[in-house]
Amino acid sequence: MVAVPQCFVGRFLFSGLRASSSRTLSCAQRTWLHGRARSHSASSDIPGVKERTLVAVKPDGVQRRLVGQIIKRLEQRGFQLVGLKMVQVSEELLAQHYVALQKKPFYPSLLRYMTSGPVVAMVWEGHNVVKSTRMLVGDTNPAAAAPGTLRGDFSVHVGRNVVHASDSTEVAQKEITLWFQRSELVDWECCDHGNIYHP
């Protein structure tokens, strides 16, 4: 990284040219500049900005090479990836994940489906990320999922609906703890934070 001299930074910060000039700086330099310039727009000061949710590309989504498109939709919305791994899910984990569905007639086929191949599990962070991600994912039944949603665009049958997303903040916390170790999640602030959030 190129060091940013103090006098150079001072000129930008106080001459009013910071926004246009920072276009020529590296991401790390912009982050540093924003950190110096902001007094109260750090993410921890914005209510709910640290909300997290579990998103999992199910085995059909992985087999159909949809991982990239699903990540793209969450990234382009402005959410931030804080955890990512590919896993062959165990029946024990799924039994806890789908505990509310254990009495449903489709439960055995749901277990077979979810263990049929690898799953890409992710944790995404951002303001209202749980609700917004559910809207991006769309209705459980793809037939009812609106066009433009992931399920509405990429799936046909409820038994192969390509992606999972936590349905409430409480469930999200439980699911993240179930799927991820604390050490697998990264606390970081994206250098475009100031363009996504109003302080």
**Which positions are catalytic?**
164
Positions 4 through 63 that interact with ligand DAT (CB under 6 A): none
For residue 110, state whether it binds ligand DAT (rule: CB under 6 A): yes
Exposed/middle/buried for 162, CB within 10 Å: 0-12, 13-18, 19+?
A: buried
Question: Toward ligand DAT, which CB reaches closer, 73 or 193?
Answer: 73
d(CA 97, CA 54) in angstroms, rounded, equals 11
Stretch that binds ligand DAT, among 18-26, 66-74, 76-84, 158-166 (CB under 6 A): 158-166
Residue selected from 46, 84, 167, 189 as contacting ligand DAT according to rule CB under 6 A: 167
Q: Which stretch binds ligand DAT (CB under 6 A): 24-32, 34-42, 47-55, 159-167?
A: 159-167
Binding of residue 140 to ligand DAT (CB under 6 A): yes
111 binds ligand DAT (CB under 6 A): no
Count of residues that interact with Mg ion, criterion CB under 5 A: 1
Least gap, CB of 134 to Mg ion (angstroms): 9
List strand residue ranges (DSSP E) for 63-133, in order.
Answer: 80-87, 119-125
CB atoms within 10 A of CB 195: 10
CA distance 137 to 146: 9
For 1, half-sphere exposure in the C-beta direction (CA atoms, 13 angstrom radius) is 11
Residues in 145-174 that interact with Mg ion by CB under 5 A = 167
Long-range contacts of 108-112 (CB under 8 A, 24+ apart): 109/159, 110/159
Residues interacting with Mg ion, by CB under 5 A?
167
